[in-house]
């Protein structure tokens, strides 16, 4: 009868089935049974001896120790629980753990079985730990102290993380809901909060939420308390919520919405919380600042360091929480024997199928030193006289292992089944040998005494008796030495197949015997695989050929001598040839005589494996169709296959793209450009003639107006006539300015403006322009400021046009500004070597749409300020900047001002 502790609700029959899977009978063997969970696996049952061995108070702590620990052994157990084959053979392995006072190596026998309730169960038992258990149980007890003075252990951060992993799995953000009534009492709280912080820390039902807020804020007037006191909507208020039984807290973001009844009376809060588990922090857990609700339990005990969380269950259930979500933090109290009502008795059962009853491994000598570091997990190797198999079977296993090691492929294979200690279970040897992927035959005096299932299946025999009846080894195998390890094997139907054989001398049943291992020769299988690969490749070749035929460009495959090997359908359509007509012909048959030399040079460069391959940008050539027409073509040559292949087998791919359409488009664009240039020239000539014709009468009008205004030949009789004369003079001057700007813009667009590029000092040009504009700025009460870079290199520019650029920009900065505004002019040399002029004003500014309008000739934006202008200021300025090989940039925002930058590239900047 074996005693164990299990979770409530676990079917004892499932535990009994799991123990039967390992054929455990000895009550002293420590074991555990684990089931899949959201966080990986959780232990649902374990013997008290295993809890003692790993110093665990309950199943939750044992789960964290074996499935979440950092020991190599714990990592191996977690991996086995996931990777072992379902209902496969048991696995025996030595695993390393850190146990007080040092490291220990413990032998684990494990297996994974199917289960109707949980899907699968992982059962494991330790072997040969009697001495270790005795040493742990013989440890001197600690001094007796009163119960109220016994300090309770506080969970560490690692313990908390493992516990949360069991409770909530891999979730990082957990949400919960809460509600209060009109008296601010918490009336509703959803379970996720208790799942994370524990039942005691989440026990705020019936409490005044104002007091809870003060406690979580750690101050009477913290942000949560203030938000709650205002009875207003709040969100994003983050607090640290203590975790029961641990010196840790978890950040929680809280939000709340006040509710009101029909009379608009406050009816409590409806709120939510987000627990940020991924931001778990160390924090001293403190009690609520005051006990407001009389008789109500507090969320955490009143102590600077909290005691371990103790669930409200009977002692029999402390090691078996109801579920991973409802369990409280483990109490980590001194170990106690389980009560009788939580002990399940299992009567001895008759092993089914293949009994696998391990015996405890002999204890190590008492003088053996205890290692200070936990050793790495390693498989247990069979030793003579101490294995689960007999000495003869262990010898056979070693020989088979040698064969498998020599014949194993280089890829990583499934690890071998490790062997362990005990002089029983020889019957399992047949079950293991039957699972090996090669045929095994043990014989003595050329008489077969054992054949595994693999060999019988390969030869088509039902059992060994049928094998002997058919003639045995003498008839089934051709073992005549041939200098090769390949022999012929006859099957029950009379067919034969080739196999690689290996003979070794072993002991079987304490007598000499011969071990024959057979592995089917893979040549036939390899041939079939090669044929299948060939069919696949042929299919892919047909698909690629179909794809090439649907391509719009012509494609020809060429041999190293320049002869055509194949031509796709687009190539046939392009040149008017059928593929059969050009195969074997030189490539030049498709090329016009004027382009043949260019193609030959191109092809020779590709064959030479030189610079031409790196600079392979194609060639424009002229092709010749079968009917005699000429085709403009863009041709690209490339290699087919690796560059280091046999030059005699190297092939090339020629891609022909018909450029007829593009040539037509190019001609149309060329004609359109020439037409535009002609129209521009006509416009410039027209403007020049009109300007000449307009300037003469305008000058006369302006001159006569000035003579009359000055009253050189007598006074003007009426003052109103004097006003009219002023208007005539102003209008004439404006028209003359318009004509001059229009003529300059036309010359720039036509490329006929005469510019004298000389060395210009930017700072001097800026200073002169500012001096000219200063009176206008003073009249408009606009401040002009200078910030010029010292030692700025000179630039190459037209000095007259640069002065006009500066005056236009400064005039706009003053004209479209407000009294008290500023215009800041600066110069600089950027990191990229550009010499820049920047003009920033604090004026009325423009939107993106208005900037586009202002850059168009004869367009002016609508502003609150009436200004006189031609509408050519910014367009002419931009054109002058570009004529000086510089860059013009303008940025503006309504009511915030305008920024203009004129950048001269490094090529226009003179070295000092």
For 777-831, the pLDDT digits (tens) are: 999 999 999 999 998 999 999 888 898 899 889 988 998 899 999 999 999 999 9
Beta strands 783-787; 822-829: pairing state: parallel
pLDDT digits (tens, 9 = 90+) for 30-74: 999 999 988 889 999 999 888 888 888 889 889 988 998 888 889
Is the CB of residue 275 less than 8 Å from the CB of residue 173?
Answer: yes
Query: What phi, psi does 148 have (nearest 5°)?
Result: -75, -15
Kindly report the three-state secondary structure assignment for every residue of 499-513: EEEEEEEEEECCEEE
What confidence score (pLDDT) does residue 821 get?
A: 92
pLDDT band with cut points at 50, 70 and 90 for residue 121: very high
pLDDT band with cut points at 50, 70 and 90 for residue 320: very low
Output DSSP code: residue 255. E
Q: Is 441 helix (H, G, I), strand (E, B) or coil?
A: strand
- The sign one gets for the Cα dihedral 235, 194, 32, 35 is negative
Is the CB of residue 821 less than 8 Å from the CB of residue 860?
Answer: no
* pLDDT(432) > 50: yes
pLDDT digits (tens, 9 = 90+) for 728-785: 887 777 677 667 766 766 666 666 667 789 999 999 999 999 998 999 999 999 999 9
What confidence score (pLDDT) does residue 404 get?
A: 59
CA distance linking residue 282 with residue 299, whole number of Å:
18
What confidence score (pLDDT) does residue 810 get?
A: 92
Beta strands 835-841; 822-829: pairing state: antiparallel
* pLDDT(272) > 70: yes
% of the chain with per-residue pLDDT over 70: 73
DSSP string, 522-547: SHHHHHHHHHHHHHHHHHHHHHHHHH
Question: In angstroms, how far apart are the furthest CA atoms of the chain?
Answer: 155
Question: Strand pairing partners for 35?
Answer: 42
What confidence score (pLDDT) does residue 862 get?
A: 59
CA distance linking residue 603 with residue 616, whole number of Å:
11
CA distance linking residue 335 with residue 732, whole number of Å:
111
Is the CB of residue 262 less than 8 Å from the CB of residue 288?
Answer: no
CA separation (Å) from 902 to 226, 257, 326, 835?
56, 57, 72, 8
pLDDT digits (tens, 9 = 90+) for 77-118: 999 998 898 888 888 888 888 876 667 888 888 999 999 888
CA distance linking residue 435 with residue 64, whole number of Å:
35
% of the chain with per-residue pLDDT over 90: 15
pLDDT digits (tens, 9 = 90+) for 480-533: 555 567 788 888 888 888 888 888 888 877 778 888 888 877 665 677 678 788
Which residue would you say has higher pLDDT here, 573 or 868?
573
What confidence score (pLDDT) does residue 259 get?
A: 86
What confidence score (pLDDT) does residue 164 get?
A: 76
Whole-model pTM over 0.85: no
Residue 679 has a CB neighbour count (10 Å cut-off) of: 10
CA distance linking residue 90 with residue 109, whole number of Å:
7
pLDDT band with cut points at 50, 70 and 90 for residue 891: very high
Which residue would you say has higher pLDDT here, 340 or 132?
132
Q: What is the mean pLDDT of residues 868-883?
A: 76
The CB-based long-range contact list for 501-509 (8 Å cut-off, 24+ gap) reads 501/477, 502/403, 504/399, 504/402, 504/403, 506/392, 506/395, 506/396, 506/399, 506/442, 507/391, 507/392, 507/395, 508/392, 508/395, 508/396, 508/442, 508/444, 508/449, 508/450, 509/392
Question: Strand pairing partners for 272?
Answer: 177, 255
Which residue would you say has higher pLDDT here, 429 or 346?
429
Is the CB of residue 904 less than 8 Å from the CB of residue 886?
Answer: yes
What confidence score (pLDDT) does residue 698 get?
A: 78
* pLDDT(29) > 70: yes
CA distance linking residue 876 with residue 740, whole number of Å:
11
pLDDT band with cut points at 50, 70 and 90 for residue 479: low
Output DSSP code: residue 563. B
pLDDT digits (tens, 9 = 90+) for 209-244: 888 887 787 676 778 888 777 778 887 788 888 887
Distant-in-sequence, close-in-space partners of 836: CB < 8 Å, separation ≥ 6: 827, 828, 829, 830, 901, 902, 903, 904
What confidence score (pLDDT) does residue 483 get?
A: 55
What confidence score (pLDDT) does residue 841 get?
A: 94
Residue 790 has a CB neighbour count (10 Å cut-off) of: 6
pLDDT band with cut points at 50, 70 and 90 for residue 665: confident
What confidence score (pLDDT) does residue 762 get?
A: 93
| Mean pLDDT for all residues in the chain | 75
* pLDDT(331) > 50: no
CA distance linking residue 557 with residue 563, whole number of Å:
8
* pLDDT(153) > 60: no
What confidence score (pLDDT) does residue 274 get?
A: 87
Kindly report the three-state secondary structure assignment for every residue of 167-207: HHCCCCEEEEEEEECCCCEEEEECCHHHHHHCCCCCCCCCC
- Tell me whether residue 513 is exposed, middle or buried, using C-beta atoms within 10 angstroms of its C-beta: 0 to 12, 13 to 18, 19 or more: buried
pLDDT band with cut points at 50, 70 and 90 for residue 836: very high
Which residue would you say has higher pLDDT here, 200 or 415?
200
Vertex 444: Cα angle to 439 and 446 (nearest 5)? 80
DSSP string, 863-906: -SS-----S-HHHHHHHHHHHTT-EEEEEEETTTEEEEEEEE-G
Q: Is 776 helix (H, G, I), strand (E, B) or coil?
A: helix
Output b/e per residue, 845-878; b: 16+ Cβ within 10 A: bbeeebbeebeeeeebbeeeeeeeebbbbbbbbb
What confidence score (pLDDT) does residue 338 get?
A: 36
Distant-in-sequence, close-in-space partners of 613: CB < 8 Å, separation ≥ 6: 605, 606, 639, 643
* pLDDT(1) > 60: no
pLDDT digits (tens, 9 = 90+) for 278-298: 887 765 444 433 333 333 334
pLDDT digits (tens, 9 = 90+) for 129-149: 877 777 776 655 444 434 344
- Tell me whether residue 670 is exposed, middle or buried, using C-beta atoms within 10 angstroms of its C-beta: 0 to 12, 13 to 18, 19 or more: exposed
Look at residues 590, 443, 462 and name the one whose alpha carbon lies nearest to residue 517.
443
């Amino acid at each position: 009868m074996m005693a164990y502790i299990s979770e409530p609700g676990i079917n004892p029959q499932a535990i009994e089935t799991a123990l039967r899977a390992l054929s455990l009978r000895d009550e002293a063997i420590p074991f555990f049974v684990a089931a899949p969970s959201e966080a990986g696996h959780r232990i649902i049952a374990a013997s008290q001896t295993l809890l003692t061995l790993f110093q665990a108070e309950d199943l939750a702590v044992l789960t964290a120790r074996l499935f979440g620990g950092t020991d190599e052994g714990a990592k191996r157990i977690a991996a086995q629980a996931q990777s072992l084959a379902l209902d496969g053979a048991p696995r025996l392995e030595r695993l390393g753990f850190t146990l007080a006072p040092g490291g220990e190596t413990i032998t684990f026998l494990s297996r994974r079985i199917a289960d109707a309730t949980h899907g699968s169960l992982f059962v494991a038992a330790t072997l040969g730990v009697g001495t270790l258990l005795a040493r742990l149980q013989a440890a001197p007890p600690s001094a007796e102290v009163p119960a109220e003075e016994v300090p309770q252990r506080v969970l560490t951060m690692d313990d908390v993380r493992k516990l949360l992993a069991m409770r909530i799995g891999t979730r990082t953000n957990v949400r919960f809901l809460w509600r209060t009534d009109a008296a601010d009492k918490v009336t509703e709280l959803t379970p996720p909060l208790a799942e994370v912080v524990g039942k005691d820390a989440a026990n705020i039902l019936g409490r005044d939420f104002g007091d809870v807020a003060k406690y979580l804020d750690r101050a009477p007037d913290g942000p949560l308390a203030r938000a709650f006191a205002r009875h207003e909507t709040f969100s994003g208020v983050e607090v640290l919520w203590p975790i029961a039984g641990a010196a840790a807290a978890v950040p929680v973001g809280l939000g709340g919405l006040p509710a009101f009844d029909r009379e608009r009376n406050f009816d409590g809060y409806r709120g939510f919380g987000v627990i940020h588990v991924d931001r778990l922090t160390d924090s001293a857990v403190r009690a609520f600042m005051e006990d407001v609700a009389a008789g109500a339990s507090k969320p955490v005990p009143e102590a600077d360091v909290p005691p371990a969380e103790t669930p409200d269950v009977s002692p029999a259930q402390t090691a078996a929480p109801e579920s991973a979500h409802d369990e409280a933090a483990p109490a980590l109290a001194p170990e106690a024997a389980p009560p009788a009502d939580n002990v399940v008795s299992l009567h001895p059962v008759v092993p089914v199928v293949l009994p696998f009853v391990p015996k405890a491994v002999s204890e190590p000598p008492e003088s053996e030193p205890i290692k200070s570091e936990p050793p790495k997990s390693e498989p247990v190797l069979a030793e003579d006289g101490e294995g689960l198999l007999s000495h003869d079977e262990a010898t056979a296993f070693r020989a088979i292992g040698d064969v498998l090691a020599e014949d194993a492929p280089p890829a990583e294979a499934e690890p071998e089944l490790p062997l362990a200690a005990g002089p029983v279970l020889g019957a399992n040897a047949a079950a293991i040998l039957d699972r090996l992927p090669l045929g095994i035959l043990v014989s003595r005096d050329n008489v077969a005494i054992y054949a595994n299932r693999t060999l019988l299946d390969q030869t088509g025999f039902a059992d060994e008796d049928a094998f002997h009846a058919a003639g045995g080894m003498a008839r089934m195998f051709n073992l005549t030495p041939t200098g090769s390890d390949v022999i012929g094997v006859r099957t029950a139907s009379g067919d034969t197949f080739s196999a690689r054989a290996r003979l070794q001398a072993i002991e079987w049943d304490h007598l000499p015997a011969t071990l024959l291992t057979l592995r089917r020769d893979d040549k036939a299988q390899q041939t079939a695989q090669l044929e299948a690969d060939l069919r696949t490749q042929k299919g892919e070749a047909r698909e690629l050929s179909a794809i090439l035929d649907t391509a719009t460009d012509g494609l020809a495959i060429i041999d190293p001598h320049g002869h055509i090997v194949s031509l796709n359908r687009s190539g046939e359509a392009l040149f008017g040839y059928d593929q059969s007509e050009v195969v074997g012909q030189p490539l030049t048959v498709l090329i016009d005589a004027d382009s043949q030399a260019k193609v030959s040079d191109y092809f020779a460069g590709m064959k030479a494996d030189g610079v031409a391959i790196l600079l392979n940008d194609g060639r424009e050539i002229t092709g010749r169709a079968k009917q005699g027409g000429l085709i403009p073509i863009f041709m690209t040559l490339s290699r087919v296959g690796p560059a280091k292949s046999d030059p005699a087998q190297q092939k090339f791919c020629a891609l022909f793209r018909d450029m007829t359409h593009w040539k037509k488009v190019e001609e149309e664009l060329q004609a359109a450009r020439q037409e535009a240039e002609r129209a521009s020239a006509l416009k410039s000539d027209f403007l020049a003639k009109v300007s000449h014709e307009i300037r003469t009468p305008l000058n006369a009008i302006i001159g006569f107006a000035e003579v009359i205004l000055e009253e050189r030949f007598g006074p003007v009789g009426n003052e109103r006539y004097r006003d009219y004369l002023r208007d005539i003079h102003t209008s004439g001057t404006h028209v003359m300015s318009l004509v001059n700007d229009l003529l300059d813009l036309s010359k720039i667009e036509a490329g006929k403006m005469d510019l004298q590029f000389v060395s210009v000092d930017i700072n001097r040009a800026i200073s002169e322009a500012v001096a000219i504009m200063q009176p206008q700025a003073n009249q408009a009460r606009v401040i002009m400021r200078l910030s010029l870079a010292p030692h700025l290199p000179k630039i190459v520019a037209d000095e007259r046009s640069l002065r006009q650029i500066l005056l236009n920009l400064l005039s706009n900065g003053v004209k479209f500004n407000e009294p008290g505004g500023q215009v800041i002019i600066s110069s600089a040399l950027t990191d990229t070597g550009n010499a820049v002029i920047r003009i920033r004003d604090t004026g009325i500014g423009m939107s993106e749409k208005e900037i586009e309008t202002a850059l168009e000739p004869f367009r002016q934006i609508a502003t609150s300020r009436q200004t006189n202008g031609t509408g050519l200021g910014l367009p002419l300025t931009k054109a002058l900047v570009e004529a000086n090989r510089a860059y013009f940039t303008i940025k503006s925002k309504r009511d915030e001002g305008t920024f203009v930058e004129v950048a001269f590239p490094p090529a226009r900047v003179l070295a000092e």
